[in-house]
Amino acid sequence: MPVTPTYPGVYIEEIPSGVRTITGVSTSIAAFVGWARKGPVDRAQRVLSWQDFERHYGGLDRQSLLGYAVNHFFANGGQDGYIIRVVARAPDPSPALAASVTLGGILTLTAKNPGAWANQYGIVIRARTDDPTRFRLAVVLFETPTTEVVVESFENLSMAQIDRRFVKTLIDTESSIINATVIGAPAAPPPDTGSPSPALTGGNDGTILEPNTVGFESAIDPTSVTAPVRLLDHVDLFNLLCIPGETTPAVLSQLQGYCRSRRAFLIADCAENATLASLQTGPDSALTGADSINAAFYFPWVHAPDPLQENRRRAYPPCGFAAGIYARTDSSRGVWKAPAGVDASLTGVTGVAVPLTDREHGTLNPIAINCIRRFPVYGTVVWGSRTLNGNDERASEWKYVPVRRLALFIEESLYRGTKWVVFEPNDEPLWAQIRLNIGAFLHSLFRQGAFQGQTPREAYFVKCDKETTTQTDINLGIVNIVVGFAPLKPAEFVIIKIQQIAGQIQT
């Protein structure tokens, strides 16, 4: 702030530069939705590796495609994701239930989330010999009917609610396996448990929800505020949405709209039994509406070994592989590079369910179907990069995946990076700051090769002045910022022209 001179001498005053750096957001945080045998059902759980998924959700399970898709994502370059576990609930005739055990009639311990997984855990109670009001509680895993392994242990617990080691408070906040409920107002802890330890019982997986079924579709219906997929509302940022194996057009159409509202991108699977003939008319019309600019469609399913079946070959939906390729390409080249081509080779695959020739592929590419091909030298690669709005007949400006995703990246980055503008004085000094900061952000992208053009003037522009913001706008508290950029378009077709050179006669 300005200094107030009171004595003769030199005064130092620091002047703000007006520079506020805009940082680019992440572009390949993937959200996966599906059934798993364990894991939280009340939130979207972040996982940063396959080991994270195994720890929270139990790893692979042949009853569900979710674990396989997440594994394919991390194996192909994914680094960050969210998981939403979908389980059947009442009024389903077979709802998922949480296992529990009651000790001494005064303490009930219940698994933190439903499923049969908790039935393999037990509880050990041991009172302290020097202070019988306190006790030790251990959670054990039954590796065999006679072998118990301690996985969690809590010391000096008390049944008194006013105690700082109150059993319910400590267990609920620190245990990753159980919650505690105290029954009544007991004066003493539960009695010591014998051997074998009391087991949690009653855990049930309920109905195994699969894609393309009524129960599963209601779980991923974004129009319902209670649908599990809406747990993503509480996630600050995700970029990619994968529902492994879900192919119902009406459901995918709704998910497209949800992705557009969140500036995210849907990776849609074809049906497992899809063929060249069944796709000749293109994706279902429900998938090609206005929101299709935020989605891409992949064909066919991919063959890969199944670790749960002695690595025998099995067909998997392509979304997990594609999401991993998106992440790998973003990391190595940038979001403006198409996640396709010879560098987009799939890891851990043996082939595709429907091999395609160039001519066959040529009938699908113009109608916005991204094909996965197998080539002798490069292996199995993603060989298409169009959005579901990319049919040639539409001539859409959002025809290509990298163009749309670059726009989403810029939108989200500017949305987050310009919040400082709110409530600032709306006049030329503010407009100049806006032009400076957004221009610096776009120039950094230009230097990385994100735009067309040899000069910044050809690549992008930022307008924020009295032409974009009129006096009426100012009176209404509005500042208008216009940002334009020249996106790179992928070289989808390479045409080489060859001719003979006639011998030249020297004269």
- Is 366:280 a contact under the CB 8 Å cutoff? no
Q: Is 461 left (phi over 0), alpha (psi -120 to 50) or beta?
A: beta
Confidence at residue 38, expressed as pLDDT on a 0 to 100 scale: 95
Residues of the chain above pLDDT 70, percent: 98
**119-131 average pLDDT score:** 93
Rounded-to-integer distance, Cα 172 and Cα 118, Å? 16
Q: In which band, very low, low, confident or very high, does the pLDDT at 504 lie, cut at 50, 70 and 90? A: low
Confidence at residue 501, expressed as pLDDT on a 0 to 100 scale: 82
Rounded-to-integer distance, Cα 141 and Cα 118, Å? 9
DSSP string for 252-270: HHHHHHHHHHTT-EEEEEP
Residue 18 has pLDDT above 90, yes or no: no
Rounded-to-integer distance, Cα 373 and Cα 211, Å? 25
Q: Domains in the chain and their CATH numbers?
A: 30-88+208-402 (3.40.50.11780), 100-182 (2.60.40.4290), 426-507 (no CATH)
Q: In which band, very low, low, confident or very high, does the pLDDT at 90 lie, cut at 50, 70 and 90? A: low
Structure tokens of 326? 């998106």
Output the pTM of the full model: 0.93
Q: In which band, very low, low, confident or very high, does the pLDDT at 19 lie, cut at 50, 70 and 90? A: confident
Residue 503 has pLDDT above 90, yes or no: no
Q: In which band, very low, low, confident or very high, does the pLDDT at 145 lie, cut at 50, 70 and 90? A: confident
Residue 507 has pLDDT above 80, yes or no: no
Of the candidates 439, 438, 426, 416, the one whose C-alpha atom is nearest the C-alpha of residue 465 is: 426
Residue 2 has pLDDT above 90, yes or no: no
Q: Average pLDDT of the chain? A: 94
Residue 93 has pLDDT above 80, yes or no: no
- Is 498:412 a contact under the CB 8 Å cutoff? no
Q: Which of 150-154, 205-209, 234-238, 472-476 has the lowest mean pLDDT?
A: 205-209
**181-186 average pLDDT score:** 93
- Is 108:180 a contact under the CB 8 Å cutoff? yes
